[in-house]
Amino acid sequence: MAQEHEFDVWTTRLFNDYLAAPLTNFLTAIGHPPDRPDHPWENWITMELLVVVIILALFAFLRPRLSVDKPGRLQLTFEAIYGFIGSQAQEGITHEHQKYLPFAGTLFIFILFMNLIGIVPGFESPTMTATVPAGIAVAVFLYYNYMGMRSHGVGKYLAHFAGPMPVLAPLMIPIEIISHLARPLSLTIRLFANMFAGEKVTMAFLGLSYLVLPAVFMGLHTFVAFLQAFIFMLLTIIYVGSAVGHEHEEGH
Amino acid sequence: MKIKMLLVLAILFLVAMPIFAQGTAAQTSSPKDWKPVFAGIGMAIASGLCGLGQGKAVAGAAEGMARNPGATAAIRGALILGLVLIESLALYTLVIILIVN
């Protein structure tokens, strides 16, 4: 993919002007010096930090306005979002879903904001760079395996890879390992390709005509942004459910 | 009516005059690099098959919702999940094209 056409968003320019040296020193200290020492900040990391600041500001704004008797509109909106995430978690993980709800909910809000911020002119989606979805997918992989091991014990969790009957183990174990490794890969590629293709298609149609056509594709891109955040959360819940929920299968 | 149609055809013909501007130079155009050609063919095949699969998914979902309107929410959930998973298969092809090009 052509890296020469990189365009620095205003936050990246800001960070590179003032904070280039500390990041270069930090990266060199941990053994991965940047290619260009005067330009260590990339678009995706500065946009990610901006999204984190926006989410924190939003929730800091919400928190003092929470009230049991007279909920305002913002509180009702977020209660609806929380109820939605909770119902999805309850369907996917039937047993003790409250424990796994925070991770899935945070993922949903974070990925949703990251996808949507690319639509605002002057900002760029961090999920458009392959690094960001890859990082989130690795986090999901580690999370559901860790939760599975914590729920069942390391030995029993790994023994589930052998399938329903021990005689099938030499066949099932490679299949299970490959399918488990394919999960973060597919999560990454799904999110990255949808966001990247959405932007490229909008740009391509903007090159054709600036009147109505790009707006249609931007609308489609907005819908896809919501959908991809929801699907990421749903797949996380399904993976956690399948890692944690084996207990009930053996009871039957 | 016939005069109007003839007039429209004549105007279209005149507007399309630039087509006749080139065409005298016979170029044996076999492309020097085949990557964009095969990228286009591969992406077209992937998108076409993805369209077929998603069409089958939507058809099944619509029929299910018609038979059992009470289960609409559950069927819609399964439909959205299925569509996104099928869509991602076409997107894998796009990613390979982006990596190779």
Q: Could you state, in order of their start, the residue ranges of all structural domains in chain B?
A: 32-101
> What is the per-residue pLDDT for A247?
57
Phi, then psi, of A5 in degrees rounded to 5: -90, 25
> What is the per-residue pLDDT for A246?
64
CA–CA dist A76, A82 (Å, integer): 10
Residue B82: exposure state from Cβ atoms within 10 A (0-12, 13-18, ≥19) = middle
> What is the per-residue pLDDT for B62?
96
> What is the per-residue pLDDT for A252?
39
Residue with the bigger pLDDT between B49 and A25: it is B49
Give B25's contacts (C-beta < 8 A, 6+ positions apart).
none
> What is the per-residue pLDDT for A181?
93
Phi, then psi, of A167 in degrees rounded to 5: -70, -20
Cβ distance A189 to B95 less than 8 Å, yes or no, reads: yes
> What is the per-residue pLDDT for A38?
81
Measured in residues, chain A has a length of: 252
**pLDDT per residue as tens digits for the range B64-85:** 999 999 999 889 989 998 999 8
Cα of first residue to Cα of last residue in chain B, in angstroms, is 52
CA–CA dist A47, A6 (Å, integer): 14
User: Which band of pLDDT confidence, cut at 50, 70 and 90, is reported for residue B25?
Assistant: low
Say which residue the tokens 């996917």 belong to. A92
Q: A85, A188, A189: which to substitute to probe chain B, counting the most B Cβ within 10 Å?
A: A189
**Which residues of chain A neighbour B95 with C-beta distances below 8 Å?**
189, 192-193
> What is the per-residue pLDDT for A66?
83
**Which residues of chain A neighbour B87 with C-beta distances below 8 Å?**
190, 194
Cβ distance A193 to B94 less than 8 Å, yes or no, reads: yes
Cβ distance B84 to A192 less than 8 Å, yes or no, reads: no
CA distance B85 to chain A (A): 8
> What are the Cα distances from residue A122, in Å, to A99, A118, A213?
38, 8, 20
**pLDDT per residue as tens digits for the range A94-122:** 888 888 999 999 999 999 999 999 988 88
Cβ distance B98 to A231 less than 8 Å, yes or no, reads: no
CA–CA dist A96, A100 (Å, integer): 8
User: What residue type is assigned to position B12 of the chain?
Assistant: L
pTM of the model: 0.82
Supply the CATH classification number for the domain B32-101.
Answer: 1.20.20.10
CA–CA dist A251, A247 (Å, integer): 7
**In the 8-state DSSP scheme, what is residue A96?**
S
pLDDT per residue of chain A (252 residues) written in tens, 0 to 9: 444 456 777 888 888 888 888 888 888 888 888 888 788 888 888 999 999 999 999 999 988 888 888 888 888 999 999 999 999 898 888 888 888 999 999 999 999 999 999 988 888 899 999 899 999 999 999 999 999 988 888 888 888 887 777 787 888 888 888 999 999 999 999 999 999 988 888 888 888 888 888 888 889 999 999 999 999 999 999 999 988 876 545 443
This model of the complex carries an ipTM of 0.73
Cβ distance A194 to B91 less than 8 Å, yes or no, reads: yes
Of all residues in chain A, the one with the smallest CA distance to B84 is A231
Q: Mark out chain B residues that contact chain A at CB-CB < 8 A.
A: 80-81, 84, 87-88, 91-92, 94-95, 98-99, 101
Cβ distance A1 to B91 less than 8 Å, yes or no, reads: no
CA distance A207 to chain B (A): 19
